[in-house]
Structure 1
Amino acid sequence: MENQEEKKWFDKLKEHYRLVVMNDETFEEVGAYKLSALNLYILLSAVFVAVALVVFAIIVFTPLKRYIPGYGDLSQQTEIIRLNEEVLRFEKQLKGQEMYAENFRRMFVGDFIEDTISQEGDLEEIPDSMLNVERIEEDELLRKEVEYNDMLEEQALYNKASNYIPKDIPLEQIYFIPPMKGLVSQTFAHDKQHLGVDILAPKDSPVLAALDGYVFEADWTLKTGNTIGIQHGNNIITFYKHNSAMLKKVGDYVKAGEAIAIVGNTGTLSDGPHLHFELWHKGHPVNPEDYIHFDEKR
């Protein structure tokens, strides 16, 4: 019974009708069209599909897709976060350079102040005002927050400990870790602008921090190559130059004897693998050999 009804309904779809178009005033026949319900359905479906394809093509291949609500939100978030990370990286580099220049200014005017530590934590945390999007990496943000808090705690402990250190301890009473053991190939010569000592060492030897402190410079220069500068207590800073690789970055806290670089031959002032080590006190270079034993002398 159902099959007969379906067949009857399908037969009605195939029944033909004539559509006659006549002039309204003269009743003259202008045209006649033979149609069926099935043909009309197919025609309308084809028109609908064609229009849908045209609209889809316009949206996909033209900027109109940007106006669709919700389109591109994820890609925009990713791009904004990437750009924000680039800005933070440049801010860190700029802050490190500013602190480096300020320390040198204070050294040469006799107003060097210790504990001018770069708190990178201030740059690690991304403020909400910079991103008008939902946070999509909760674990990454949590990690940054933990690192920031650890930095602040470490900074507070360092500053607290520094307050108990007398500010004018003679250098002779301070124990320096030799940054490297080896032959001193060139000694300190202030009159020749050689403000440190050159120490020969085997290739890939580690360079050690002479005292506890914070890295305020970790950069490459044309003359000295890979250079690390560390700010210590008691108005002392040390420089380690011509390294082949740097193991620390600006803002890192290092312990005395900790490896901070690998000896190398970088920079135009270097003619072989060695470490150029400088010791500064109260803004003035001093002879490291007066306070540190490097083993052999030339």
Structure 2
Amino acid sequence: MAKGVKKRKEIKRKLLHKYRLVILNESTFEEKISFKLSRLNVFVTGSLCIIGLIGLTTLLIAFTPLREYIPGYSSTKLKKQATDLTYQTDSLVRVLNNTNRYLDNIRMVLKGDIENNEINRDSLLEQFKLDPSTVDLTPIKQDSLLRAEVALEDKYNLFERSTAKTEIVLFPPVSGTITQIYDAKKKHYAIDVVAPRETPVKATADGMVIFAEWTADTGHVIIIEHKDGLLSVYKHNGSLNKSQGDVVRSGEVIASVGNTGELTTGPHLHFELWDKGAPINPQDFIDFK
């Protein structure tokens, strides 16, 4: 018992024992500052400083924007901004991919290149063809009711009936003699129409000019985009009357017949039609007589 009391007194004495911290001038050994300290004072002061530092750090994190720089911690606003940026990035990627595909189509139109990916349509149809005998075509009650409801709505819907979709009408860009016809085997995806120099070249349909520039091979070229993915191409023009971005009407003068470019043998119009990235024969849709 006495030993325990003696030990506690010894610990108390060590904690309360005074020490003197002196700061001296190194040259003159003059005493500048002195402090009286004990182990207990140092422990209490250090503990209070640590607690204060922890409290100050907590306040800075909780009530200032500094918390956003802590890994794994972000505000709702920052998360929303990150989500919006992600959506915008995805949208930009889709726009970029669509633009690249669009430019690839323009490149094919200008160069007359087509990927040689031949597909056997008969084999595809045979592969996916269904046998009608294996399908139950008996109408169910819900199907009959839906058919009757749709028929009743269509009967009195005059607006839908009066705005039926009509096929696009193509205007001959120039009149003249056809010297070279459309020949896919020889990769001539156009018709060549001979006409006097400076003869007006007209737009084959309503649309917007998406290309109007000079190329070394085909001279002055103008490309018009029409509805439903249809493109009309006019090459070897003597001059262009329209610029990229202009909206044109069917039959409007857009250029004049010329003999520009290296791949030409005289004044004529090299005219192409492309439907959704594939060339089609203009004579199937336009009478050039």
Larger radius of gyration: 2
| TM tier relative to shorter chain | 0.3 to 0.5
Q: Which TM-score applies when normalising by structure 2?
A: 0.45
